Amino acid sequence: MDIDDILRDVDPTFHTIPQEKRDLQELTRTWIAERSAPELLPWPANGLFERINSNIKRQIEKVEEMTGDMDPKTNFALIVIQTELERYRYLVRSYLRARIAKIDKHTLHYLSTDELRARLSEMELAYATRHQALLHNHYLSSFLSSFPPNLQNLNDTSVGLNMIDTPDLESAVFIRLLKNAVVRGRGVDADDVFSARESDIVILRWADAKPLVAAGSAELV
């Protein structure tokens, strides 16, 4: 907690953190959460990536403008901007790739219900739909088309097994409490309920952590 946080606590209208900085914080958080969570998290709907993208574009233009200027001062500033730019790019790239990896792994699952589809961005939805179509087509032309018709589905649920693989929501994650909250965790032998304090770090099943994260009481680390 730094001075800004304290001031904001006292006066909620206090806004000294510029939008860009808050965006970077949010990007970093979203990125960490996406990489830690075993399932795909919702695509940020508040225009975060539109803002980040236009920031990146602006900085690229600035770099182009400043190149060619041989003044050492400009040159130093140029290096700082480029370094920052590379880091931004890395965050966005790593975030997008983490999502694509999850989407590729369980494509049919994420396409199966509207609620799950809503987690994908428009571009990701287009990508996932097309990718699944390609795969299905590939299976069909490789062997599936010579199967008996009743065996050609990719979403059979007979024999007690669902063909659609789903992410393991019971795998473990680390969370940091952002405010005091009651944590419920299911264990192998016994369940546990305890009240955790702000900034405590807890390891528990993602299925148990999810409500806390969704309510903003905790973040993934």
Q: What is the sign of the dihedral through the CA atoms of 175, 221, 28 and 127?
A: negative
**94 within 8 A of 31, measured Cβ to Cβ:** yes
Binding another protein (rule: CB under 8 A), the pick from 1, 151, 188, 190 is 151
| Residues 51-90 interacting with another protein (rule: CB under 8 A) | 53, 56-57, 60, 67, 79, 82-83, 86-87, 89-90
Q: Shortest Cβ distance from residue 196 to another protein (Å)? A: 30
**81 within 8 A of 48, measured Cβ to Cβ:** no
- Residues 118 and 151: their CA atoms lie apart, in Å, by 30
Which residue, 126 or 182, has its beta carbon nearer to another protein?
Answer: 126
Instruction: Give the CB-side neighbour count of residue 204, counting CA atoms within 13 A.
Output: 27
Which residue, 156 or 192, has its beta carbon nearer to another protein?
Answer: 156
**End-to-end alpha carbon distance in the chain:** 17
Q: Which residues on adjacent β-strands are paired with residue 203?
A: 174
| Residues 171-200 interacting with another protein (rule: CB under 8 A) | none
Helix (H) or strand (E) holding 58: helix 48-66
* Segment lying near another protein (by CB under 8 A), choices 110-118, 132-140, 195-203, 207-215: 132-140
**What ranges make up the beta strands (E) of the chain?**
172-177, 181-185, 192-196, 201-205, 218-220
Binding another protein (rule: CB under 8 A), the pick from 16, 46, 113, 146 is 146
Is residue 155 a contact residue for another protein (CB under 8 A)? no
Is residue 104 a contact residue for another protein (CB under 8 A)? yes
Binding another protein (rule: CB under 8 A), the pick from 138, 182, 203, 215 is 138
Is residue 134 a contact residue for another protein (CB under 8 A)? yes
How many chain residues interact with another protein (CB under 8 A)? Answer: 40
Which residue, 37 or 128, has its beta carbon nearer to another protein?
Answer: 128
- Residues 61 and 82: their CA atoms lie apart, in Å, by 11
> Tokens representing 30?
């979203």
For another protein, the binding residues (CB under 8 A) are 53, 56-57, 60, 67, 79, 82-83, 86-87, 89-90, 92-94, 96-97, 100, 104, 123, 126-127, 130-131, 134-135, 138-139, 141-144, 146-148, 151, 154, 156, 158-159
